Amino acid sequence: MEIKVKIEAVVNLKDGEVNINEILEAVEKWRNQVGLDVSKGLIETYQERMVELLCEGKGESSWVTHDHKEDGGGQLCTGGSFNRGGFRRKERTFRTSMGEISIKLRQIVCNVCGKRFAVLLPLLKISRRSRATVKIKQMSSETVAELSYRRSDERLESLAQINIPKTTLHRWTARQDWEVFTDRVNTEDVWQSFTGMMADGTGYKRQKADTTKGNLRIVMGVKDGPQKLVPLGVWVDKSWEEIEQKISGKKPADIKPPVLTVDGEKGQDRLSSLTDKVQRCQWHAPHQLKYFLWQDGVAKETRDEFIRQLSGIIKIEVPEKDYKEISDEMKKEIEDKVEKSRDAVNDLIKTFKNRGYDGACTYLENAVGHLFTVIDKWLEIGYMPPKTISILERTMREMGRRIKKIGASWKEKGLLAMAQILLARIYTPEAWEDYWADLLDLQGRCGISSYHVSFSAVSS
């Protein structure tokens, strides 16, 4: 159908005095109100005309499919004959990106099953419980992941000209299934392309009464060199053991990326079943050793000397050029260097043992098997998985910053939703857009084909 819209406006300007800002300001204010009025008018006119068509027998039953009146089990009625059934007493209010629109709902009565129902929801594909449009849900979830709780409230108000209570915002985001974004990467192709994996976690403060610390953990696949991370999942208050089980249950069996790089947090070794080998983050190792030496009561100068030693030992450079062009002598040289470095770490362990630095000794004993994995792998497969988790740490810091702001007021589920949204937006922005495009389902079934604006000045 075609709906003709006529808009007539009277604009008052003060002769000789008005400035450009006043004109623009007036139009801007008006623009939103016009948008709301036109949308409301189009919806109501469309509703009216469709009811007319349906009741004259010129409509199609598929426009207003409804549950059969007598059948509680949700059997669809295919009746195609209707009578007018008056208006619903209560208007239906929709939250849209322009503001709120209230629509009087027209009802029809099905001549086959006798059901009386409002046509607008089936006609416009609006789900029964939904009070907000897809667009405003997208806006709110994007806002929620970017700002603190209270500020997201304010921000949404200014964007949408309406005030959405923070509890509503929270409910929308927490209820959605955001795992779709990490689940979709569990294909053979994606896992096959991983040159490594990374895992990291960060603590957060729980709601006021609870004094225990919660944790948020992330596992990533690494693709095409260390620059591209693919989120495999984010978890709130789950042990590494539970995380390992979750990933194993979803990933393609038999595919193991060559190396998992971790900072060595307790329990992380559970993840080793997901990959072939484990690498301790080469940035973290000296820092962690420093902490244990400090705990063992080692003086600062001595401590710094040992840290310098360890940093020097684990730093093994490999040639940048194509692996195939590297001579066998060169490879042998690097192999020897790894051997010597391993011996050097073992010497350090002995020194610590002799001096009674028990904490530092145990730490290095546990770490030594995972300090040179990436070099071994380079010799074996010709490319180097990431030596450190520094590119993931940047994301973790971002997460931590947001959690600090919202942590006190968000429950675990909201926190998880926020983290999932943030990951999806950072690492899979196309998938994020596609997800909303699917929900919006824009296919050009409504368009404004022409409009005309004319002006005439009248002296007052």
User: What's at 351, amino acid-wise?
Assistant: T
Amino acid sitting at position 137: K
Choose between 112 and 391: whose C-beta lies nearer to Zn ion: 112
The candidate with the shortest Cα–Cα distance to 427, out of 185, 199, 247, 215, is: 185
10-18, 104-112, 124-132, 277-285 -> range binding Zn ion (CB under 5 A): 104-112
Rg (CA), the chain: 32
Helix-then-strand count for the chain, H and E? 16, 12
CA triple 415-437-140, angle to 5 deg: 35
Q: Which range, of 106-114, 177-185, 370-378, 433-441, touches Zn ion by CB under 5 A?
A: 106-114
Apex CA 89: angle with CA 87 and CA 93, to 5°?
A: 95
* Residue whose C-alpha is closest to residue 213's, from 71, 404, 22: 404
The count of chain residues that interact with Zn ion, using the rule CB under 5 A, is 6
Tokens of 453: 């604006």
Interaction residues for Zn ion, span 114-133 (CB under 5 A) = 115
Asked if 397 and 422 count as a contact pair (C-beta separation under 8 A), the reply is no
From the CB of 106, what's the least distance to Zn ion, in Å?
Answer: 16
Q: Which is nearer to Zn ion, 117 or 191 (CB)?
A: 117
CB of 68 to Zn ion, least distance (A): 6
Decide: is 415 part of the binding site for Zn ion (CB under 5 A): no
What's the closest the beta carbon of residue 56 comes to Zn ion, in angstroms? 17
Of 69-77, 92-100, 205-213, 418-426, which segment contacts Zn ion by CB under 5 A?
69-77
CA 160/CA 135 separation, integer angstroms: 10
Query: Burial of 357 by CB count in 10 Å (0-12 exposed, 13-18 middle, 19+ buried)?
Result: buried
DSSP state of 434: H
Q: Output 123 or 147, the one with its CB closest to Zn ion.
A: 123
Q: Which is nearer to Zn ion, 65 or 102 (CB)?
A: 65
Nearer to Zn ion, 16 or 72 (CB): 72
Q: Name the residue nearer to Zn ion (CB basis): 82 or 410.
A: 82
Q: Please, what is the minimum distance in Å from the beta carbon of residue 52 to Zn ion?
A: 19
Smallest separation (angstroms) from Zn ion to the CB of 46: 22
CB of 398 to Zn ion, least distance (A): 53
Residue 67 CB, nearest distance to Zn ion (Å)? 8
Query: Which is nearer to Zn ion, 112 or 368 (by Cβ)?
Result: 112
53, 113, 318, 431: which one contacts Zn ion (CB under 5 A)? 113
* Among 8-16, 25-33, 113-121, 305-313, the segment contacting Zn ion (CB under 5 A): 113-121
Query: Closer to Zn ion at the Cβ: 79 or 385?
Result: 79
CB of 107 to Zn ion, least distance (A): 13
Least distance from Zn ion to the Cβ atom of residue 89, Å:
22
Q: Is 112 in the site for Zn ion (CB under 5 A)?
A: yes
Q: Which of residues 70-89 bind Zn ion (CB under 5 A)?
A: 77, 79
- When binding is defined by CB under 5 A, the residue of 51, 64, 110, 361 that contacts Zn ion is 110
- Judged by CB under 5 A, the stretch of 112-120, 148-156, 212-220, 319-327 that binds Zn ion is 112-120
- The CB-based long-range contact list for 29-35 (8 Å cut-off, 24+ gap) reads 32/98, 32/99, 32/161, 34/7, 35/98
What is the spatial distance between Cα 236 and Cα 404, in angstroms, rounded to a whole number? 14
Q: How far is the CB of 55 from Zn ion (least distance, A)?
A: 14
Identity of the residue, 77 or 348, whose beta carbon is nearer to Zn ion in the bound complex: 77
Dig out the tokens for 403 from the structure: 């959690």
Contacts 24+ apart (CB under 8 A), 64-70: 64/108, 64/117, 64/119, 64/122, 64/123, 65/122, 66/110, 66/115, 66/117, 66/122, 67/115, 68/113, 68/115, 69/110, 69/113, 69/114, 69/115, 70/113
> Measured from the CB atom, is 79 or 201 closer to Zn ion?
79
Helix (H) or strand (E) run with residue 137 in it: helix 134-146
Closer Cβ to Zn ion, 25 or 70, answer by number: 70
Write b or e for each residue in 179-201: b if 16 or more Cβ atoms lie within 10 A of its Cβ, otherwise e: eebbeebbeeebbebbbbbbbbb
DSSP, residue by residue, 234-288: EEES--HHHHHHHHHHHSPTT---SEEEE---TTGGGGGGGSSEEEE-TTHHHHH
Tell me the window of 103-111, 203-211, 257-265, 318-326 that interacts with Zn ion (CB under 5 A): 103-111
- Please report whether residue 164 would count as binding Zn ion according to CB under 5 A: no
Least distance CB 28 / Zn ion (angstroms): 47
Chain residues in the site for Zn ion (CB under 5 A): 77, 79, 110, 112-113, 115
